[in-house]
């Protein structure tokens, strides 16, 4: 079963500590076998999926609720699954080198394996519930991974920010998915995709689309939720390479692509996605060049790529969808590679600042070559795969239907900025004057070079032979996104046309920008006050607000005064009961007073006991009154057919009085502590509750809602349970577990009493027996 193979990853994650004991630091390579095996399995499915088949691996989860664990492998899922498992394998190997000897390597493996499984489940899930569960799991595991260096305040803060933003989006997503399920009357994505026409006309279309987009945009760091992604760079670089370029941030994009056949194509979809995508694209590229930290540069350029993908889905033409899958694959390849290169630079030089590096090429020749290839792909220079992606992107933007000129302008400027970013990453550290770095730079170990090298080579090979990707995987993926068969024919040379021209102009301008980067950055510093008021300031204000509100409500509600707590609870109770009793159901009762004189005397004694206990000014008076009340109750029990209760009450009451006399007299005398006004308030509150209870009892007698179950107990006590005292039979037979629990409670109370009396600084011992003597219940 495929499901089990995927979910077994969770078990593997749970056993990570064991593997570490066996294999030590080499455990990374052992773990890498897991995604590698899955990747092979997925590759094996490629021929079938290419032939247009959709693999459905049905599995029930909670059939009664319509929840299934069904996995579906179509072109889109397969593309993502291959990225998740393929890059996952390389990242695990890379992490083995990068985090070698890290004391918490085990924790890292645990979290990243759990993440891998969650992400895989997310892209394979067919059921909406399953999708949502895996979606949330990626949020939680990524929180653990971003906050991996948990002793670092910044890392903790960033992890929390990422969690809050994505989980808030997750809530919106949940609402959206629920509405989607209601609108389509199905919880299966496959079935929903077949009924796009119904969904697009449905009344719920607008609200459900808003909710789903909120979920997707927060997850995929679209403007204005982009700010959490650069902060997430606090994570170790393997995490950034995996989660924040190739996989998790693309979950939102995946969801949009998945829903394209069922929800796409409307004006709302087209305009929102193209404009938000284009804005994100430009924001990412623009903010990137302000930074000198190599990981931030890459993070912002990832935002730019995510914006591009959203925009292409928004444009939604056949050409745009082809561009979408091509760009997606190209980006995952070069960005994964570049992140790993960034990690190598950080690891080997001890700094993340590109302006502090220089002339590293002779020292790290392989890294330099890999970085160059990947960066050329990022810049979109032929003959790399990124070039094809960019060409197709320009082509699609030219045929955009909504807001074409704005989108075109933003896309073109973003391309220029991206080229500058690519040049900064590839040229700045490796060429120019040699600079002194905190650590003496040298070539990285093979385990760290393997990942980026493989991805860079793939970028090059697919660029030279685009048919390798285009004919198979990407055709299937584009068809899945479009919902109809699409033929993807990729080629490096499209002839001299507008897109090529745009590419050339952007290359030239981008290089110019790179040359003047230092001066541009100084200029852009003037904008800092404006940028610091961006969406992140809104997030911070919101968080501060939450703290202020919770401080305020703690001060009001949790003020430490016992009576206020009781007052709040009682008033709530009065409001709830009163609302339900007086307003919803008129109190109804027929009073049939059938009393005998001696009964009135007993009840009267009981009430007097309660009254004197309340108003007595001496402790002894109160205790005696309570005792009188208790014995009256025992008498009542006996009068009204409950001899067992009467006996128990008598015993317990006797013990209680003894206990109170023994203990309470070590406490001070009663003192009058409250003001008359407070007393009036308390009488009013207590009186209203008492009155309500009376009404409640009277009403409940006149309503018979259920057939009592005691008839069964009476009828079966002797034949089945062989007991003649039905109350006892209930206690030890019908409700035996209850009684067992009760015995536990008493034993605990007895231990507690004993401990409080006996365990103390040496002093004379005290009585401790009373709680044990009533096992008769």
Number of residues that bind other proteins (CB under 8 A): 103
Q: Which is nearer to other proteins, 526 or 667 (CB)?
A: 667
Q: Which is nearer to other proteins, 36 or 652 (CB)?
A: 652
Residue 603 beta carbon to other proteins: minimum distance, rounded to whole angstroms: 5
**Other CB atoms within 10 Å distance of the CB of residue 346:** 20
Helix axes 385-398, 404-427, angle to 10 degrees: 160
> Of 124-132, 222-230, 311-319, 592-600, which part binds other proteins (CB under 8 A)?
592-600
Q: Which is nearer to other proteins, 30 or 655 (CB)?
A: 655
Helix axes 128-146, 105-124, angle to 10 degrees: 160
Q: Which is nearer to other proteins, 446 or 747 (CB)?
A: 747
> Of 350-358, 364-372, 424-432, 711-719, which part binds other proteins (CB under 8 A)?
711-719
Residue 582 beta carbon to other proteins: minimum distance, rounded to whole angstroms: 15
Residue 205 beta carbon to other proteins: minimum distance, rounded to whole angstroms: 52
Q: Is 581 in the site for other proteins (CB under 8 A)?
A: no
Q: Is 26 in the site for other proteins (CB under 8 A)?
A: no
Question: What is the 8-class DSSP label of residue 363?
Answer: T
Alpha-carbon torsion (473, 477, 480, 486), positive or negative: negative
Residue 599 makes CB contacts below 8 A (sequence gap 6+) with 636, 639
Contact 511/415 with Cβ under 8 angstroms?
no
Tell which one of 272, 518, 693, 765 touches other proteins (CB under 8 A).
693
H or E element: which one contains 634?
A: helix 619-639
Q: Is 649 in the site for other proteins (CB under 8 A)?
A: yes
Residue 768 beta carbon to other proteins: minimum distance, rounded to whole angstroms: 9
Q: Which is nearer to other proteins, 545 or 777 (CB)?
A: 777
Residue 557 beta carbon to other proteins: minimum distance, rounded to whole angstroms: 14
Give the long-range contacts of residues 436-441, CB within 8 A, separation 24 or more. 437/349, 437/350, 437/351, 437/356, 437/357, 438/349, 438/350, 438/351, 439/348, 439/349, 439/350, 441/348, 441/349, 441/360, 441/363, 441/364
Q: Which is nearer to other proteins, 45 or 739 (CB)?
A: 739
> Of 63-71, 381-389, 530-538, 689-697, which part binds other proteins (CB under 8 A)?
689-697
Q: Which is nearer to other proteins, 11 or 747 (CB)?
A: 747
Residues in the chain, total: 777
Tell which one of 522, 562, 703, 737 touches other proteins (CB under 8 A).
562
Residues 44-63 binding other proteins (CB under 8 A) are none
Residues 658-677 binding other proteins (CB under 8 A) are 659-660, 663-664, 666-668, 670-671, 673-674
Q: Which is nearer to other proteins, 52 or 690 (CB)?
A: 690
> Of 56-64, 100-108, 492-500, 640-648, which part binds other proteins (CB under 8 A)?
640-648
Tell which one of 570, 577, 578, 581 touches other proteins (CB under 8 A).
570
Residue 556 beta carbon to other proteins: minimum distance, rounded to whole angstroms: 14
Q: Which is nearer to other proteins, 45 or 656 (CB)?
A: 656
Place of tokens 């807001």: 403
Residue 182 has which token pair?
Answer: 């209601």
Residues 323-362 binding other proteins (CB under 8 A) are none
Residue 682 beta carbon to other proteins: minimum distance, rounded to whole angstroms: 4
Q: Is 577 in the site for other proteins (CB under 8 A)?
A: no
Q: Is 580 in the site for other proteins (CB under 8 A)?
A: no
Backbone angles phi, psi at 565, to 5 degrees: -60, -50
Residue 547 beta carbon to other proteins: minimum distance, rounded to whole angstroms: 21
Q: Which is nearer to other proteins, 515 or 681 (CB)?
A: 681
H or E element: which one contains 61?
A: strand 60-62
Q: Which is nearer to other proteins, 355 or 648 (CB)?
A: 648
The Cα 3–Cα 58 span in angstroms is 9
Rounded to 5°, the CA angle 86-89-92 comes to 145
CA atoms within 13 A on the CB side of 399: 15
Residue 442 beta carbon to other proteins: minimum distance, rounded to whole angstroms: 56
The Cα 528–Cα 421 span in angstroms is 19
Q: Which is nearer to other proteins, 98 or 637 (CB)?
A: 637
Q: Is 156 in the site for other proteins (CB under 8 A)?
A: no
Instruction: Determine whether 318 is exposed, middle or buried from the number of CB atoms within 10 Å of its CB (0-12, 13-18, 19+).
Output: middle
62 bridge partner residues: 67
CA–CA distances in Å: residue 768 to residues 192, 658, 750, 765, 772: 68, 12, 8, 9, 9
Tell which one of 591, 677, 707, 737 touches other proteins (CB under 8 A).
591
Identify which of 146, 314, 297, 156 has the alpha carbon closest to the alpha carbon of residue 222. 314
Q: Which is nearer to other proteins, 338 or 730 (CB)?
A: 730
Residues 83-142 binding other proteins (CB under 8 A) are none
Contact 239/148 with Cβ under 8 angstroms?
yes
Q: Is 461 in the site for other proteins (CB under 8 A)?
A: no
CA–CA distances in Å: residue 648 to residues 292, 644, 709, 774, 777: 80, 6, 24, 8, 8
The Cα 227–Cα 165 span in angstroms is 9
Place of tokens 């009430």: 607
> What x/- string results for residues 596 through 625 when contact with other proteins is judged by CB under 8 A?
---xx--x--xx--xx-xx----x--xx--
Instruction: Determine whether 588 is exposed, middle or buried from the number of CB atoms within 10 Å of its CB (0-12, 13-18, 19+).
Output: exposed
Residue 752 has which token pair?
Answer: 């507690």
Residue 583 beta carbon to other proteins: minimum distance, rounded to whole angstroms: 20
Residue 580 beta carbon to other proteins: minimum distance, rounded to whole angstroms: 17
Q: Is 578 in the site for other proteins (CB under 8 A)?
A: no
Residues 715-774 binding other proteins (CB under 8 A) are 715, 717-719, 723-727, 730-731, 735, 738-739, 742, 745-746, 749-750, 752-753, 756-757, 770-771, 774
Tell which one of 689, 705, 707, 764 touches other proteins (CB under 8 A).
689
CA 304 from centre of chain: 24
Q: Is 530 in the site for other proteins (CB under 8 A)?
A: no
Residues 368-397 binding other proteins (CB under 8 A) are none
CA 297 from centre of chain: 27
Residue 624 beta carbon to other proteins: minimum distance, rounded to whole angstroms: 11
């Amino acid at each position: 079963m495929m499901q089990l193979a995927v979910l077994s990853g969770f078990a593997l994650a749970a056993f990570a500590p064991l593997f570490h004991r066996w294999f030590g630091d080499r455990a990374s390579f052992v773990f890498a076998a897991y995604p590698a095996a899955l990747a092979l399995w997925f590759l094996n499915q490629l021929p079938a999926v290419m032939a247009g088949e959709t693999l459905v691996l049905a599995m029930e989860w909670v059939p009664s609720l319509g929840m299934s664990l069904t996995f579906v492998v179509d072109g889109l899922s397969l593309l993502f699954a291959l990225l998740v498992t393929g890059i996952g394998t390389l990242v695990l190997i890379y992490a083995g080198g990068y985090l070698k000897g890290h004391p918490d390597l085990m924790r890292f493996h645990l979290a990243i394996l759990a993440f891998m499984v969650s992400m895989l489940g997310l892209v394979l899930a067919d059921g909406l519930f399953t999708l949502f569960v895996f979606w949330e799991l990626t949020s939680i595991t990524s929180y653990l991974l971003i906050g991996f260096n948990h002793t670092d305040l910044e890392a903790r803060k960033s992890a929390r920010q990422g969690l809050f933003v994505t989980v808030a989006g997750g809530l919106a997503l949940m609402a959206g998915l629920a509405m989607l399920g209601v609108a389509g009357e199905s919880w299966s994505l496959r079935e929903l995709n077949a009924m796009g026409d119904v969904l697009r006309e449905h009344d719920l279309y607008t609200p459900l689309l808003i909710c789903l987009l909120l979920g997707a945009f927060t997850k995929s760091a679209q403007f204005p939720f982009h700010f959490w992604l650069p902060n997430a760079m606090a994570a170790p670089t393997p995490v950034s390479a995996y989660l924040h370029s190739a996989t998790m941030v693309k979950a939102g994009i995946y969801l949009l692509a998945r829903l394209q056949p069922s929800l796409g194509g409307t004006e709302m979809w087209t305009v929102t996605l193209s404009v938000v995508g284009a804005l994100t694209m430009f924001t990412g590229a623009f903010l990137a060049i302000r930074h000198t930290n190599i990981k931030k540069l890459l993070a912002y350029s990832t935002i730019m790529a995510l914006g591009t993908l959203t925009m292409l889905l928004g444009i939604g033409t056949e050409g745009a969808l082809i561009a979408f899958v091509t760009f997606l694959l190209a980006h995952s390849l070069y960005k994964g590679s570049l992140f790993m290169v960034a990690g190598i630079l950080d690891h080997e030089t001890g700094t993340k600042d590109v302006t502090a590096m220089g002339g590293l090429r002779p020292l790290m020749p392989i890294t330099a070559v890999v970085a160059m290839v990947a960066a050329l792909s990022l810049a979109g220079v032929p003959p790399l795969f990124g070039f094809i992606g960019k060409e197709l992107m320009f082509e699609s933007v030219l045929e955009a239907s909504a807001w074409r000129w704005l989108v075109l302008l933003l896309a073109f400027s973003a391309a220029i900025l991206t080229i500058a970013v690519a040049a900064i990453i590839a040229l700045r550290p490796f060429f120019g004057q040699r600079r002194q770095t905190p650590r003496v730079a040298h070539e990285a170990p093979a385990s760290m070079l393997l990942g980026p090298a493989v991805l860079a080579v793939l970028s090059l090979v697919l660029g030279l032979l685009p048919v390798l990707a285009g004919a198979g995987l990407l055709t299937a993926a584009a068809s899945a996104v479009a919902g109809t068969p699409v033929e993807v024919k990729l080629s490096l040379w499209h002839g001299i046309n507008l897109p090529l021209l745009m590419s050339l102009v952007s290359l030239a301008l981008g290089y110019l920008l790179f040359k003047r980067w230092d001066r541009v950055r100084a200029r852009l510093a003037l904008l800092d006050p404006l940028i610091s008021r961006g969406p992140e300031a809104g997030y911070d204000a919101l968080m501060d607000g939450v703290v202020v509100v919770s401080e305020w409500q703690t001060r009001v509600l949790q003020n430490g005064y016992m009576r206020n707590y009781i007052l709040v609870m009682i008033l709530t109770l009065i409001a709830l009961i009163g609302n339900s009793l007086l307003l919803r159901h008129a109190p109804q009762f027929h009073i049939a007073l059938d009393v005998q004189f001696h009964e009135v005397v007993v009840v009267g004694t009981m009430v007097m006991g309660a009254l004197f206990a309340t108003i007595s000014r001496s402790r002894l008076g109160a205790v005696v009154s309570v005792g009188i009340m208790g014995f009256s109750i025992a008498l009542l029990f006996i009068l009204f057919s409950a001899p067992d209760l009467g006996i128990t009450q008598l015993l317990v009451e006797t013990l209680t009085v003894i206990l109170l006399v023994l203990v309470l007299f070590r406490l001070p005398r009663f003192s009058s502590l409250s003001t008359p006004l407070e007393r009036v308030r308390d009488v009013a509150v207590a009186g209203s509750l008492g009155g309500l209870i009376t009404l409640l009892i009277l009403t409940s007698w006149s309503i018979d809602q259920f057939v009592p179950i005691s008839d069964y107990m009476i009828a079966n006590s002797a034949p089945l349970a062989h007991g003649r005292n039905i109350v006892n039979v209930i206690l030890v037979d019908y409700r035996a577990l209850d009684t067992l629990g009760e015995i536990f409670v008493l034993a605990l109370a007895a231990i507690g009493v004993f401990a409080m009396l006996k365990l103390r600084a040496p002093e004379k011992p005290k009585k401790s027996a009373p709680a044990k003597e009533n096992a008769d219940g």
